[in-house]
């Protein structure tokens, strides 16, 4: 095994190191989730922590790491007699993103159980991590059911395996550490809440600190053993301090005053449930033990709040993380425990104004602003006044009245804030897929309702008992059965096929041209797209964003699991100019082609948000010329858009058009576009889940596509 990078040699990242050490002192804190951009020493710090953990005594030969002084009476390898054991280093077990449920919780050998009558259980990673560290890199990319199993075991301290009427239980108490890059998608709020602490990490912007990071890393890569030897004394000191803090922890007193501050802080930040209060209490106690004290002070409560509350106070996926430290200090001072010096000490530990105002703009709601257009500033009103009164602006843009000089034909106008999001109707992809687990379209999955049986392909994971019995029954006489029972052979075993839901790639193709730039309408359109993004977040989809305006289309956001990034791009989307509808569709088709190569199993749903007007051919005309189309004069923009749309129908891509046309005179062009795409069209009003405008015509209603 290679020498790990020393924990004490990590430069900066004070909050990260403190959170890891507090969990080492008191695993009851509940683990830590480390969020941050790539290359910020997340994995390095976690792996370095394992070298600081004290050795553990285990029963010799026990696969479940039972303590010799208090063995688990229900251990599958037991019962064990109380006595001396053997010492070994604490393990750090890594859970890979592609791990299966059987690898995580363990597996019962169903073949041996049925064919030989042997109850053989193979432990999983949860058993290996007992009394050690379980490290999950990119935890946000794990399937939801695996995260559920993982966090349930961490909360209960035990893992339960239920397979075809056979139950196995074993202890599973470990320090849970997860790392993730928020750009690749978020965890559901329910799962975020199960992590005790969270830490936001970022690369330092101080040149001297960055130089020191590079210097130490190069020295470690040149001579890992020599570098570790130079930090051996510091490592030993931290290891001894962890042991001392563990011994002191039972003696730490959490007074009524500190408890009152904890409760008041959780109430002030409106966290759900009581888990935050309990985690804060345990964290504050561990902080006192780490400092060598037996009393919890206000500064411990403050630090515990900064670690335990940021991920719990988020109300929806588009709110910014973090904690208002001014509000925190005011709450601690108001509900002080009578230890005046503690309250002042807590205030002094603040970093001043850094981050104190970060949360002020955000409480307005998801998407930031809820459609309050007057807040956009006076420079927006003059340029949009005529457009708002008529509901339209000319398709061919003109220089804006704000004084900007847009490119010819662009007619760019200032971005409009999104209206308040709403709950949308269900849009799904027809047919039966096999993509990543999610909550949108029907798919064959490992979890869900049983729909049939088949011969196993590889290891048997889900036994279909009835089908197995039916396969074995006709052969009993030939197998010499002479009495009650059933002779089952390997060829008789049948795998259950199950149907659940999958996540899709939802690719938004948004018209940002002049015909959409009327202030009131664009606000409603952004609100609708924001609502669909929220729906995509809840259904565990990937999202992408293509916009078109002027004479071309661009990929505003490549397909990603981060709906936060899509919401940010949407909020700053400019509008104006002609409508190159065909170019937007062709650019979306290119995105789908590339994404299909990267992830063939994930099916796509294209959501085109437009009024259906096409006033510019642009890139689509060039593509037509390359394909042998008419060049002189070129095809009409509407014909080009229809030709591009029919390519989606040929490819079998599920699509839906959100019709944004408004005003007393409507051309119905969005409906025609939906017909060319082979999809459905819905209006902005019909998109609402509580709409009574009629049944929504989603993509499942198209019988041609389902076939």
The residues carrying an active-site annotation are 275
Tell me if 170 sits within 8 A of 159, measured CB to CB. Answer: yes
Tokens 């008191």 — which residue? 26
Give residue 226's Cα distance to chain centre: 39
Give the 3-state secondary structure of residue 485.
coil
Nearest to 565 by CA among 27, 23, 37: 37
Cβ neighbours of 66 (radius 10 Å): 24
Instruction: Judge whether 34 and 177 are in contact, CB under 8 Å.
Output: yes
CA distances from 555 to 508, 518, 584, 612 (A): 10, 23, 9, 20
Q: Give the residue from 400, 354, 421 showing the smallest Cα distance to 570.
A: 421
In this structure, are residues 658 and 527 in contact, taking their beta carbons and an 8 Å threshold? no
Tokens of 321: 């993380």
Rg (CA), the chain: 30
CB 428 within 8 A of CB 698: yes
Residues 565 and 557: beta-carbon distance below 8 Å: yes
The three-state DSSP-derived secondary structure of 76-120 is: CCCCCCCCCCEEECCCEEECCCCCCHHHHHCEECHHHHHHCCCCC
Q: What φ, ψ does residue 702 adopt, rounded to 5°?
A: -95, 105
Rounded Cα distance between 67 and 53, Å, is 16
Strands 505-511 and 542-549 come out as parallel
Residue 603, SS3 per DSSP? coil
Specify the DSSP class assigned to residue 416: -
Q: In sequence order, what are the beta bridge partners of 452?
A: 497
Q: Which of 247, 229, 283, 291 is nearest to 8 (CA)?
A: 229
Length of the chain: 707
Under DSSP, the state recorded for 2 is P
Question: Which residues make beta-bridge pairs with 690?
Answer: none
Residue 163 token pair: 């397979």
How many Cα atoms sit within 13 Å of 639 on the Cβ side? 8
Burial of 374 from C-beta contacts in 10 A (0-12 / 13-18 / 19+): exposed
Six-digit token pair at 46?
A: 């976690």
């Amino acid at each position: 095994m290679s020498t790990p990078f020393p924990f004490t040699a990590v430069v900066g990242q004070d909050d990260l190191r403190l959170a890891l050490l507090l969990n080492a002192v008191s695993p009851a804190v509940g683990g830590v989730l480390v969020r941050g951009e790539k290359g910020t020493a997340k994995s390095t710090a976690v792996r370095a922590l394992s070298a600081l953990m004290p050795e553990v005594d285990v029963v010799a030969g026990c696969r479940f790491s039972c303590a010799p002084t208090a063995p688990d009476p229900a251990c599958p390898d037991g019962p064990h007699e109380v006595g001396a054991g053997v010492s070994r280093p604490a393990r750090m077990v890594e859970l890979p993103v592609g791990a299966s449920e059987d690898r995580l919780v363990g597996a019962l050998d169903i073949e041996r159980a049925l064919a030989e009558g042997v109850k053989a259980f193979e432990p999983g990673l949860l058993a290996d991590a007992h009394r050690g560290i379980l490290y999950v890199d990119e935890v946000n990319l794990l399937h939801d059911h695996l995260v559920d199993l993982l966090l349930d075991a961490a909360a209960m301290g035990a893992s339960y395996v239920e397979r075809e009427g056979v139950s196995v239980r074993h202890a599973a108490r470990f320090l849970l550490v997860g790392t993730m890059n928020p750009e690749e998608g978020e965890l559901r709020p329910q799962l975020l809440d199960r992590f005790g602490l969270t830490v936001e990490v970022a690369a330092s912007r101080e040149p001297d600190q960055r130089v020191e990071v590079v210097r130490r890393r190069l020295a470690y890569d040149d001579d890992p053993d020599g570098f570790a030897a130079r930090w051996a004394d510091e490592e030993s000191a931290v290891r001894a301090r962890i042991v001392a803090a563990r011994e002191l922890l039972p003696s730490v007193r959490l007074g009524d005053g500190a408890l009152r501050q904890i409760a008041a802080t959780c109430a002030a930040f409106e966290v759900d449930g009581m888990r935050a209060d309990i985690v804060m209490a345990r964290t504050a106690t561990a902080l006192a033990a780490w400092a060598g004290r037996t009393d919890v002070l206000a500064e411990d409560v403050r630090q515990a709040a900064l670690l335990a509350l940021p991920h719990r106070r988020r109300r929806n996926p588009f709110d910014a993380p973090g904690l208002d430290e001014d509000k925190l200090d005011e709450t601690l001072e108001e509900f002080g425990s009578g230890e005046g010096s503690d309250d002042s000490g807590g205030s002094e530990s603040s970093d001043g104004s850094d981050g104190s105002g970060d949360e002020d703009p955000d409480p307005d709601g998801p998407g930031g602003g809820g459609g309050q257009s007057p807040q956009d500033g006076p420079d927006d009103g003059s340029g949009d006044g005529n457009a708002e009164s008529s509901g339209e602006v000319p398709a061919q843009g003109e220089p804006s009245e704000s004084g900007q000089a847009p490119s010819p034909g662009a007619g760019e106008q200032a971005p409009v804030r999104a209206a308040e999001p709403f709950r949308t109707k269900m849009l799904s992809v027809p047919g039966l897929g096999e993509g990543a687990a999610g909550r949108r379209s029907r798919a064959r999955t490992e979890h869900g309702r049983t729909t049939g049986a088949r011969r196993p392909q590889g290891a048997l994971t889900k036994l279909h008992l009835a089908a197995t019995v039916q396969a074995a029954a006709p052969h009993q006489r030939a197998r010499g059965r002479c009495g009650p029972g059933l002779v089952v052979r390997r060829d008789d075993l049948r795998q259950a096929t199950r149907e659940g839901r999958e996540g899709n790639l939802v690719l938004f193709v948004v018209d940002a041209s002049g015909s959409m730039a009327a202030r009131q309408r664009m606000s409603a359109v952004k609100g609708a797209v924001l609502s669909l993004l929220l729906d995509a977040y809840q259904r565990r989809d990937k999202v992408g964003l293509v916009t078109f305006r002027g004479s071309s289309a661009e990929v505003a956001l490549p397909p990603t699991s981060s709906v936060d990034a899509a919401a940010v791009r949407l909020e700053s989307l400019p509008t104006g100019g002609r409508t190159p509808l065909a170019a937007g569709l062709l650019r979306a088709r290119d995105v789908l082609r590339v994404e299909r190569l990267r992830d063939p199993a994930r099916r796509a749903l294209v959501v085109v948000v437009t009024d259906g007007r096409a006033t510019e051919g642009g890139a689509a005309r060039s593509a037509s010329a390359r394909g042998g189309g008419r060049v002189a004069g070129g095809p009409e923009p509407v014909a080009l858009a229809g030709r591009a749309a029919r390519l989606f129908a040929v490819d079998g891509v599920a699509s839906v058009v959100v019709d944004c046309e408004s005003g007393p005179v409507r051309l119905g062009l969005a409906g025609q576009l939906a017909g060319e795409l082979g999809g459905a069209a819905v209006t902005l009003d019909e998109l609402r889940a509580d709409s009574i405008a009629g049944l929504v015509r989603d993509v499942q209603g198209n019988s041609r596509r389902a076939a």
